[in-house]
Amino acid sequence: MIIQPKIRGFICTNAHPVGCAAHVQQQIDFIKQQPKLTQVPQRVLVIGCSTGYGLASRIAAAYGAGAKTLGVCFEKEPSEKRTATAGWYNTAAFHQAAKADGLYAHTINGDAFSNEIKAQVIEQIKQDFGQVDLVIYSLASPKRKDPVTGEVYSSTLKPIGDSYTTKTYHTDKDQVTEITLEPATDDEIAQTIKVMGGEDWELWLAALHDAGVLAPNAKTTAYTYIGKKLTWPIYGQATIGKAKEDLDRAAAAMRTRYTDLNLEAYVSSLKALVTQASSAIPVMPLYISLIYGVMKQEGTHEGCIEQIYRLFNEALYSEDRLLDEAGRLFMNGWETNDATQAKVEALWHQVNQENFHQLADYAGYHSDFLKLFGFGIDGVDYDADVDPMVGFD
């Protein structure tokens, strides 16, 4: 079939297998060009491995350190009439490249929140390399099914206490407008914590520890975004903010609980980027378009792969790691420093419908959005007839 992007609101409902493969290869090529990650271990589990920061983590570990990577994702396979999800094609491309380069790669596709998938992963670890030294937790989901009760929880993106009115950019309508978000109820806060907080991360580490497949001196990290003044009402004093506080709680609890293994558990605070998750959050398309322009002018802009390489090299496996006031690995200082934020805030107050495309780097935002689904990649013929039936192995 000939595959062109089908964009609906803040998502793209299809993906291009050749484009996704090219995007994965670009990230692999970047890592190959960097100095080797000599401290990163050889047995890595990535929970949420198929897109964004999780995919970048897998690529960085495999191609930066030669690590064996076991991935977990929840992606839809292709049919003769419909493409797979981008994460499916990304994983297929990574498998193909890893196999060609003699690197171990295995992926389990299913609900990472479930006990069944946890059990499958544990058996795969026992079978293939005994224990894991690094566990990356990079899940992003709007819903979570409790593995014991079967209750389904749904997250919401709402402020807490008072309603919040702010500017936003509607990508599908090309409009800068105001949006008002009503405050969350107590139940919505609790459900968001259940979905996006630290409970499932803790359950994963407990399952791995109890099965004896978590190595001594192992490390684990979960990824988060904190932001500053402009995004604080939606990321801080909001339902997501409460979930992020729960991630911090979980990290501290695991450091205390697994002293027998000397486990290091950190939340990693990363920069704002175009991801399938951030595209859905009010305020973020406008904020990211502005911050992209400022950081590119400053020479500090990074994509997922550049950020994760630096995380491994300068924080997770460095004695000189920089922590923020909450004890998180602090990787987004190039974005959140006062000088950079002042520039963005000045633009925020100026930006309107008429000057948006002059003040903001929406071209960069939109390009990164399309690349998430394998579109807009140089060298890919999007008028060519391609086979959507691509498998993992």
Q: Is 231 annotated as a binding residue?
A: no
Give catalytic status of residue 63 as yes or no: no
- 389 neighbors 84 (Cβ within 8 angstroms): no
Q: Is 112 annotated as a binding residue?
A: yes
Q: Is 75 annotated as a binding residue?
A: yes
Q: Is 111 annotated as a binding residue?
A: yes
Q: How many CB atoms within 10 Å of residue 177?
A: 12
Q: Is 77 annotated as a binding residue?
A: no
Distance CA 128, CA 224 (A): 30
Q: Is 385 annotated as a binding residue?
A: no
Distance CA 116, CA 129 (A): 20
Which letter does DSSP use for residue 335 in this model?
A: H
Q: Is 154 annotated as a binding residue?
A: no
Q: Is 56 annotated as a binding residue?
A: no
Show the DSSP H helices in the chain as ranges: 17-32, 52-65, 86-100, 115-128, 186-196, 199-210, 232-235, 239-257, 284-298, 304-311, 333-336, 338-350, 356-359, 362-371
Q: Is 48 annotated as a binding residue?
A: yes
Distance CA 268, CA 265 (A): 10
Q: Is 244 annotated as a binding residue?
A: yes
State both tokens at 337.
């420093």
- 167 neighbors 177 (Cβ within 8 angstroms): yes
Q: Is 24 exposed, middle or buried (0-12, 13-18, 19+ CB in 10 A)?
A: buried
Q: Is 225 annotated as a binding residue?
A: yes
CA distances from 136 to 51, 158, 292, 299 (A): 13, 27, 26, 28
- 269 neighbors 251 (Cβ within 8 angstroms): no
Q: Is 53 annotated as a binding residue?
A: yes
Q: Is 15 annotated as a binding residue?
A: no
Distance CA 9, CA 104 (A): 38
Distance CA 259, CA 289 (A): 43
Distance CA 306, CA 253 (A): 30
Q: Is 139 annotated as a binding residue?
A: yes
**Which distant-in-sequence residues (6+ apart) come within 8 Å of 29 by Cβ?**
none
Distance CA 210, CA 204 (A): 10
Among 106, 138, 133, 137, residue whose Cα is nearest residue 214: 133
Q: Which residue among the candidates 164, 235, 258, 266 is catalytic per the annotation?
A: 235
Q: How many CB atoms within 10 Å of residue 323?
A: 12
Which residues are tagged catalytic? 235
Output the known binding site for substrate: 225
Output the known binding site: 48-53, 74-75, 111-112, 139-140, 225, 244, 273-275
Output the known binding site for NAD(+): 48-53, 74-75, 111-112, 139-140, 244, 273-275
